[in-house]
Amino acid sequence: MSASTANIISSMSFRSSSNSNWSDLPSDVMELILQKLTLMDYLKCREICQSWQNMVRDALSTKGKCPPKPHFPFIIEPTRTIPFLVNPINGKYYSFATELNYGLSLERFIGEETLCSQKTNIQHYVNVFTSVEGWLIIQDYFNARRWKEKDRFFGLICFYNPVSKAMIKLPTLCFTAFEDDAYESSKVVMSSKPDCKDSIIVILLYQYWTDYKLFFCKVRGLPWTKIETQHCGDIGFSDIAIHGSKLYAITNVGCSEYVVVFNLSNPNAVTSERIVMVQDPKEQGFTFPHWEIEDCAYEKSFLLMDSTSGDLFIVHCMLRYDEDFENWPLKFAVYKLDKSVPRWLKIERFDDKILLLDDKGIQFISTTNLDGPCMESIQTNCVYFTLTTQISKEIFNDIGVFTLSDKKIQWLECSLAYKVGSVWFTPSLW
Amino acid sequence: MAEKASESSNSISLNTVDGKIFKVSPTIANQMQTIQSLIKAYDSSRVISLPHVNAFHLSKIIEYLEGKSATTVSAVKEFEAQFMKDLSLKQLKGLLIAVGYLKVNELLELMPKTVAKLIENKSVEFLRKFFGIVNDFTPSEEAKIREEIAWAFDGVDED
């Protein structure tokens, strides 16, 4: 056989031989190789030669039958038109080769608005809310003050897959807000990827910091509909989570937090019930930590629905800003709802899973199918976080890993220029 | 290697495209799905011809299957690494095609993974040279591919 001169290129020590031409690999063999590559290398194979390009194109057209190897999620910058992605584990970062034209949504959809004729001089903003299975939920919102309606914003909310460039527009939502904090703190959850037409999308809007509103819509067939919360008492919600047509919301009034469950299956008759006291020291089953709240510290609760098991979790964290970054006393605690009592049970282990937390969302990911060199340093039973805190006028972001068992934090170095509001994102081809 | 000396009536005869006859045990033969289904279809005394597989590739596959069954669980990784290491790139490609045709499940897992490792984080230019592929795109075609899906990443290893 070919006794080519040994050209050791890696530990695998394959010899590159001039008489071997790999352009004519059978497509079934190529598909097996593609499935062992992460998305970036998978797509790179298109650029090798025409034959490989055609094979990748065919693999892409299978819509999921030939998927790339799962990759540990990236952190994506939220607002820039050329978003940067960083792999927080090995610190490697990637950029899009082509500028992402978020503004496209405006150009593409404004024709449907009555505002169309006054399109010039629109000051518009882009914001990434969160992501779901390869789709970013972006908001392209613009100020209508030119139309003599001060403080009124018209938000175009879209699902956007930056890999396939697919965009799915949601109904237009009008809201009122201060310019500066417009939607910085609102939250969006969705029951599934947008390609399912029954997917329900819920937005929790904080306005003027005291006014909380919940709206829901469907990708097709249901415009934004307000969820009435008066009968829940005059309260606000600090976080929401969704499972099918059930929306869970956690309240934040004083120390008597509880969870309200809304049934959204009938848009004309939304029902709700309280299910559990969350934080009342007199209540039996109270298990939250009695963290001593220090100066410049505050607590925040994140609600998490594990869609595979249908279990509800609360991730409780204490954030604090101090001039001395070395002594940031960031703490996390995770609770699972014991539905039979009901009460919250503190947990420190969740099998092979890890928690990914950002300002706009929280999710479990399984590490079982993840692969690659950086996976050796991935620890389970950990919270991987990118969190933003605002103290007076200054905003800070930190990225790290909190280990539940020993309560230690390991900071992760990320070379993003603008980390504030960054979210976890796993790119997907479909 | 092949059990050429075996007189066992159970052994299965395989005839490669370059005319060599291999006698293998049913255990080995059944790990090649294509042969497994041929055994069912044929009278077991007949020689099964494999028009797409040459003697070298078949001997390698048999070497892998026999070697792996004789290896302790803890040493499998090492055995597999050594097995892959002994192949030239040309042999690797030929063996991949043979394995794809014969459907040898374990090698269908191991070999694509090995090739993927060679592709990971490498530049397009490096890969063309490494795999002996000629760039048959016109410059405008090349630009078009990059537009097709926005996501072409920066960030490759030094060649």
Distance from CA of B1 to the nearest CA of A (A): 18
* Structure tokens belonging to residue A146: 């030119």
Q: Which helix H or strand E contains A345, and what residues bound it?
A: strand A343-347
| Per-residue model confidence as pLDDT tens for chain A (430 residues) | 332 322 323 334 455 444 678 999 999 999 999 999 988 889 889 999 999 999 999 999 888 889 998 888 888 877 655 556 777 777 666 665 444 444 444 444 444 443 334 444 555 566 778 888 888 888 766 654 444 455 556 667 888 887 777 778 888 777 655 544 444 557 899 998 887 778 899 988 876 556 678 899 998 888 889 888 776 665 678 889 999 999 999 876 544 567 889 999 998 888 888 876 555 444 444 445 555 655 666 777 889 999 888 899 988 887 766 655 555 557 888 888 887 777 778 888 888 889 999 988 899 988 877 765 566 677 888 999 988 876 666 777 888 899 888 888 888 877 777 777 788 988 888 8
Residue linked to tokens 């092979």: A352
The reply to whether B38 falls in a domain is yes
Q: Which pLDDT score is estimated for A210? A: 60
B117-134: pLDDT as tens digits: 999 888 899 999 999 999
Say how far residue A10 (Cα) sits from the centre of its chain: 37
Q: Which residues of B touch A43 (CB under 8 A)?
A: 149, 151-153
Per DSSP, what are the bridge partners of residue A335? A314, A346
Contact by Cβ (8 Å): A343, A287: yes
Distance from CA of A84 to the nearest CA of B (A): 10
| pTM, 2 dp | 0.80
Say whether residue A339 is in contact with chain B using an 8 A CB cutoff. no
Say whether residue A101 is in contact with chain B using an 8 A CB cutoff. no
The reply to whether B148 falls in a domain is no
Facing residue for B112 by CB, picked from A9, A36, A46: A36
The reply to whether B5 falls in a domain is no
For residues B1 and A149, give the distance between their C-alpha atoms in angstroms, rounded to a whole number: 84
Give which of A331, A338, A316, A176 is closest to A250, Cα–Cα. A316
Facing residue for A48 by CB, picked from B120, B128, B154: B128
> Domain containing B37: what range?
12-119
Most B CBs within 10 Å, among A41, A58, A66, A160, to test the B interface = A41
For residues B124 and A24, give the distance between their C-alpha atoms in angstroms, rounded to a whole number: 17
Say whether residue A427 is in contact with chain B using an 8 A CB cutoff. yes
CB contact (8 A) between residue A37 and residue B137: no
Q: Report the half-sphere exposure of A147 (CA within 13 A, side-chain side).
A: 15
The reply to whether B152 falls in a domain is no
Q: Which residues of A touch B115 (CB under 8 A)?
A: 33, 36
Q: Which residues of A touch B92 (CB under 8 A)?
A: 14
Q: Which pLDDT score is estimated for B138? A: 93
Most A CBs within 10 Å, among B87, B102, B131, B136, to test the A interface = B131
CB contact (8 A) between residue A37 and residue B129: no
Contact by Cβ (8 Å): A56, A45: yes
Closest chain A residue to the Cα of B80, Cα to Cα: A12
For residues A284 and A296, give the distance between their C-alpha atoms in angstroms, rounded to a whole number: 30
Mean pLDDT of chain B: 85
CB contact (8 A) between residue A98 and residue B89: no
Distance from CA of A168 to the nearest CA of B (A): 17
The reply to whether B159 falls in a domain is no
- Residue A298 CB coordination number (10 Å): 13
Say which CATH number the domain at B109 has: 3.30.710.10
CB contact (8 A) between residue B152 and residue A50: no
Q: Which residues of B touch A164 (CB under 8 A)?
A: 149
How many domains does one find in chain B? Answer: 1
Q: Which pLDDT score is estimated for A161? A: 83
B83-123: pLDDT as tens digits: 998 898 999 999 999 999 999 999 999 999 999 999 988 88
Over residues B40-59, mean pLDDT: 85
CB contact (8 A) between residue B152 and residue A98: yes
Higher pLDDT, B7 or B139: B139
Residue linked to tokens 């009536």: B9
Higher pLDDT, B67 or A379: B67
Closest chain B residue to the Cα of A3, Cα to Cα: B88
ipTM of the complex: 0.88
